[in-house]
Structure 1
Amino acid sequence: MKPEHITQIDALHAALAPTIDRWTVGVEDRATPIPGLAFFRREVPTEACICLIEPSVVLVVQGAKQMWMGGVAYAYDKARFLITSLDLPASSQVLEASTDAPCLGLVLKLDLRMMAELIAHGGLPPPRERSDDKGMGIGTITPPLLEPFTRLLNLLDEPDAIATLAPLIQREIHYRLLMSDQAPRLWQIASAGSQSHRVARAIDWLKLNYAAPLRIDELAGRVQMSSSSLHHYFRQLTAMSPLQYQKWLRLNEAKRLMLNEDLDAASAAFQVGYESPSQFSREYSRLFGAPPKRDIAQLRREAVDATPARGASHRLS
């Protein structure tokens, strides 16, 4: 990268960081009045924490993080951004953070319909390279990508303009992403009829019907794929089979029900689709490292010991 671009990027990060810092004092995650935009703040490095990442672009303006998916680490910082084109089970980890220099960043949800419209009508040149067929990737930060983010965050000080101007700036951000080195990944998922697009439709169905019995042949038929093709491309993009993905959704929803709605393990298990509490307990222990009752008790102890700003949060988003 040219030295002048590095200087521009540093200046843009210096403009973004104070806004994120101001909005996240005393909290770890903060939604904003701009639809689809949220901020995060971490003041200590962390171990990997299980999460579900929606289609989004994640920028770090201070510090460093990495996302784990399928045993692969995707590290990102001020020079690299994370992009996900599907709803992906993963584990998030903070690498660089301190009280004096917290890890600060933002998450902007991607509008895949807007992406498809830009591809269809925007006159964009198709990418020359193929995607690596993963639902997650790391891109290179450039001044043209950061500049609209700066203008988007400036709207927080002009709330009456958000409804009119934010959609225009978000459209520009999507355009810049389609011109970035992550364009092949985004073209692949946004192109109707592609295998990636069909997998995305399968994921949408699983999210809405995670408690229902899963019949692979029926799911494949819904998205116009053969059962073998669905298995192949689903695993390629998410590092999981459809059944493993459903199991992940069920276990995390059960954890939320026990933690936030005080359900016991058996009730949570039945509500998310398990017929056997013992099977639920075994699979829960494999994913979270402890049986349900012990895990929830530990999380509640940690929440009591922590400050209100550091309370545990377990959700499917």
Structure 2
Amino acid sequence: MAKKIAWFIGPSEKRITEVPGLVLVRRTAPTAPCTGTYTPSVIVVAQGSKRVELGQTTFIYDQARFLLTSIDLPIVSQVIDASEAKPLLALALGLEMTAVRELLSREEVHVREVPHDTAAMVTGEITVELLSACCRLIDLLANPQDIPVLSGLIQREIIYRLLCGPEGARLRAIATSGDQSHRTARAISWIRDNYAKPVRVDDLAEIAGMGVSTLHHHFRVLTHMSPLQYQKQLRLQAARGRMLLDGLDASTVAFEVGYESVSQFNREYSRFFGQPPMRDIKALREGKVDEMSAA
């Protein structure tokens, strides 16, 4: 698999491929911690290793373990094992919940019960079957005419392999209507889509169809943070992206992402990213800080 990724990505650090949802990643050195948001996806590393921090919890994934994310999660990631001679080589595949639900509707698919304290991000052992399916998905890049017909079938197989493993239980819980995790995910989605708006936990509980204390508990289980902490990270990451990509100043972007005070924005930005907004953006543009990454 490492040889396949190296062949199709070449000298690039990232390739968004012709296969829907498939991204190839290559890094030739360890990186500084960088912020980002992981969407529902599976990341399989063929060579090297990465670290991801979700709240106060750390996940390590490498050639032996994949990373599965079942909802949008703001994280801090870092490449910890990579070199010119042996670069990090990985694939990230976005997961469509419609495909997950379709497979779950089949009586042949048996998924284990999910522990109540399992986060929406987990690592799992890479099996021969999962690795085989991932290799065949990459192979489609050599025959683009096969992608429209075969990519969906292979992606369904990958989802099937994930669902049948111990980690698939959380994916099922997020996708299944009526489950507490699914209802909590509705509140999480609302914050993601409306992060610049004020958040009232009572309103989130109503969106989720559950009590305030129950929502708080399940929200922390899934995301390892409170609703307000989740919102704050989304706001700060959005602000960083707007300043870096669109050239906005800190005062403008602070109000755009929902802050009522520029001084509060500057304090929270400095605490989260390690330095004030303008200094951080300058360092990003000069390549002194690793930029935000999606995989």
> TM-score with structure 2 length normalisation?
0.94
Give unmatched runs, 5+ long, in structure 1.
Answer: 1-15, 304-310
Matches for 1:32-181 after TM superposition, within 5 Å: 32-127=17-112, 130=115, 132-181=117-166
- Does the CA-based 8 Å contact 1:34-1:162 persist in structure 2? yes
- Does the CA-based 8 Å contact 1:202-1:223 persist in structure 2? yes
Aligned position for 1:225: 210
Aligned position for 2:258: 273
The CA distance in 2 between the partners of 1:82 and 1:198, in whole Å, is 23
My pick for the range that moved more, 267-276 or 39-48, is: 39-48
Matches for 1:184-203 after TM superposition, within 5 Å: 184-203=169-188
The CA distance in 1 between the partners of 2:91 and 2:294, in whole Å, is 18
2:13 to 25, 28, 39: 28
My pick for the range that moved more, 66-75 or 52-61, is: 66-75
The CA distance in 2 between the partners of 1:316 and 1:107, in whole Å, is 9
TM superposition shift of 1:238: 0.4
SS at match of 1:302: coil
- Does the CA-based 8 Å contact 2:4-2:135 persist in structure 1? no
TM superposition shift of 1:280: 0.5
The CA distance in 2 between the partners of 1:40 and 1:269, in whole Å, is 32
Aligned position for 1:257: 242
Letter in 2 for 1:30: R
SS at match of 1:121: coil
TM superposition shift of 1:113: 2.0
The CA distance in 2 between the partners of 1:30 and 1:21, in whole Å, is 11
Letter in 1 for 2:19: I
The CA distance in 2 between the partners of 1:241 and 1:151, in whole Å, is 40
Aligned position for 1:183: 168
1:314 partnered with 2:278 = no
Matches for 1:209-224 after TM superposition, within 5 Å: 209-224=194-209
SS at match of 2:287: helix
SS at match of 2:184: helix
The CA distance in 2 between the partners of 1:315 and 1:279, in whole Å, is 26
Letter in 2 for 1:88: L
Aligned position for 2:232: 247
TM superposition shift of 1:264: 0.6
TM superposition shift of 1:151: 1.2
Superimposed CA distance per residue, residues 126-167 of structure 1 (whole angstroms, 9 cap, x where no aligned partner)? 315636421111111111111111111111011111111100
The CA distance in 1 between the partners of 2:116 and 2:87, in whole Å, is 33
SS at match of 1:133: coil
- Does the CA-based 8 Å contact 1:31-1:38 persist in structure 2? yes
Aligned position for 1:306: none
Letter in 2 for 1:60: V
- Does the CA-based 8 Å contact 2:57-2:224 persist in structure 1? no
2:275 to 278, 290, 293: 290
- Seen in structure 2, the aligned counterparts of structure 1 residues 316 and 39 have a Cα distance that, compared at 3 Å, is closer
Paired-residue identity, %? 47
- Seen in structure 2, the aligned counterparts of structure 1 residues 293 and 129 have a Cα distance that, compared at 3 Å, is closer
The CA distance in 1 between the partners of 2:188 and 2:130, in whole Å, is 29
The CA distance in 2 between the partners of 1:164 and 1:126, in whole Å, is 27
CA RMSD of aligned residues (A): 1.8
Greater relative CO, 1 or 2 (CA 8 Å, sep 6+): 2
Aligned length: 295
